[in-house]
Chain A
């Protein structure tokens, strides 16, 4: 079955986000299931840096999505905007700081810390590795689950988009413990969680630096969204471990992806691609040199740099 991915360029600097959302969904033929009573929107609030930095989902886009959905399914639907605490981020600060508390008041929706939700423990075998996940029940039981990732680079996985955003659902604040086998953990959570649709926030994308990209992407397949997102950001998707692992473990097929709407190329040309391998190697080399210098000279390394 062909997975459709839409690319929509937002006009007037994103002035009309609602019509952008509508167009992105229409292109992939996404129809909201009937009798929807609860909608969960998983945003990406990885840290306390606001949407203009390209790190976190824009609350204005979330607001536009809610308005679009209300027009489609009426006003008695309960909306929940969800995020889980992370190793260095607490949702109790991220929600107000990034404009979500204000959004919740305005749109009359609930903000949910997934770390405090009822949990179902899942044990999976990915790439011969046993992975135990704490999955919020709400995401398994909601009528409509929408994944709203960012379009950005991440040194550990090259890109962070739809599949990595679901990793953020794991109800364990110290998710850093999965980092030694991050690709496997990403695939594992994607085996458990299947959003009805992914709406990628590329209004500001993050490469080497943030860039106003004015792009919305929609896809029902999380894998397809990431496969195309990688190309949009100028990376070769087949070089990404978590995508290759998805082909093997989730039986995904990159040859059956149909890109609709705008072409990839004009976006790729504008994206400030970062060579993540070089960036990681540079960082490790710097730390190695610093530690060597410290050993030889007796000079100190500030704890904020070397606090392992």
Chain B
């Protein structure tokens, strides 16, 4: 495959909903060229073909074997249980890696990935997209400016449909979601993962679990609700994490918020999220059309507000490759988040669902 040397050549492993989202985003990023994609679904591969991707594989092993010399990086969006293998193999083929969260489904696997990344000298980033949401960036910046004094408590929550979201074109939920050996757990590893990462992001310290309550009202092998209380190891900053898969949520409504309580005041993402999302979207659409007319670059997905973060995290990853910078989210961030999650699960097992420590 011939390609401009300044271009970052990318392969895709997994073209589910997230994979397709990343693929579309990549096609909109300057200096990035999508070379090959792999997915077991022929339908997904055909969609990629219509977008101009010519090297299509049903097996990611084949993609890595045949294309690794043509690639600089891979974007991995596969079911949780495949993260470990796909990441490890991609790094072994000397590729820079962007992977969807979670890093892997156990601390053991995460530790091994951290070691492989350390020895690889390759760029590695996990898709913790919420860090790139403008309202999150804003409250983090204000916190760093000292506007609320010392951070004492952070409450971070997100309640949605998770795997039960009803797609516009109906399709049944994939079975791996409800197999803890394949998913690693329920809503805690799915959505709680983001919330715990945000807590660490705001507190800038490692966290441990003080209390955890998992909800199994759906009678599934994995939890559909979780409330976890965290505490940082140095400053005892508290974090209250509340996540659920139980709420019917319809786009563009998005039930996420982070509130930071400090000694001198508080900060909430609610204050910075557009109050009227349709009006905001219309303005962004108009701005982008103007940018297009005047020959400037558009702000991809800005009209969706939250989903712009998926574009921005990828831009950040490719910048790290091009400019040889450290990626903003490392394998260690993934490991530390999974350590907290595993701690919460293990405490809940000991106390039959509800746990209070010390």
Please report A residues at the B interface, Cβ cutoff 8 Å: 47-49, 53, 55, 85-90, 93, 96-97, 99, 101-102, 173, 176, 293, 296-300, 302-308
Decide yes or no whether B295 CB sits under 8 A from chain A: no
Report A-chain residues with C-beta under 8 Å of the C-beta of B358: none
Q: Is the interface of A mostly helix, strand, loop or mixed?
A: loop
Contact of B301 among A86, A97, A296, A302 (CB under 8 A): A302
Of A85, A87, A97, which one neighbours B219 at CB under 8 angstroms?
A: A97
Residues in A whose Cβ lies below 8 Å from that of B303: 293, 299
Residues of A within 8 A of B251 (CB): 304-305
State the Cβ distance, A98 to closest chain B Cβ, in Å. Answer: 8
Give every chain A residue within 8 A of B138 (Cβ-Cβ).
none
- Closest chain A CB from B20 CB (angstroms): 4
- Nearest-CB distance from A116 to chain B (Å)? 15
Instruction: Determine which residue in B17, B168, B171 has the highest number of CB atoms from chain A within 10 A of its CB, and name it.
Output: B168
Give bound CA distance, A249 to B178, whole Å. Answer: 44
Known interface pairs A101-B219, A296-B292; A307-B169 also in contact (CB < 8 Å): yes
- Tell me which residues across on chain B come within 8 A of A48, comparing CB atoms: 164
Q: Mark B102-142, 1 if CB is under 8 A from A, else 0.
A: 00000000000000000000000000000000000000000
A96 and B20 CA atoms in complex are apart in Å by 31
In the A-B complex, the 7 residue pairs with the closest CB atoms: A87-B170, A88-B170, A96-B219, A300-B24, A303-B20, A97-B218, A48-B164
Instruction: Assess whether B300 is interfacial by the CB under 8 Å rule.
Output: yes
Indicate if the CB atoms of B300 and A97 lie closer than 8 Å. no
User: Do B173 and A90 touch (CB < 8 A)?
Assistant: yes
* Chain B interface residues toward A at CB < 8 A: 17, 20-21, 24-25, 27-28, 164-173, 178, 218-220, 248, 251, 285, 288-289, 291-292, 298, 300-301, 303-304, 307
Complex CA–CA separation, A190 to B92 (angstroms): 60
Complex Cα distance, B161 from A97, in Å, reads: 13
- When the two chains form their complex, are residues B289 and A88 in contact, meaning their CB atoms are under 8 A apart? no
Tell me whether B298 and A88 are in contact (CB under 8 A).
no
Interface centre among A47, A88, A96 (most CB of B within 10 A): A88
- Chain A residues with Cβ below 8 Å from B304 are 302
Q: Are B307 and A302 in contact (CB under 8 A)?
A: yes
Q: Which B residues are in CB contact (< 8 Å) with A96? A: 218-220
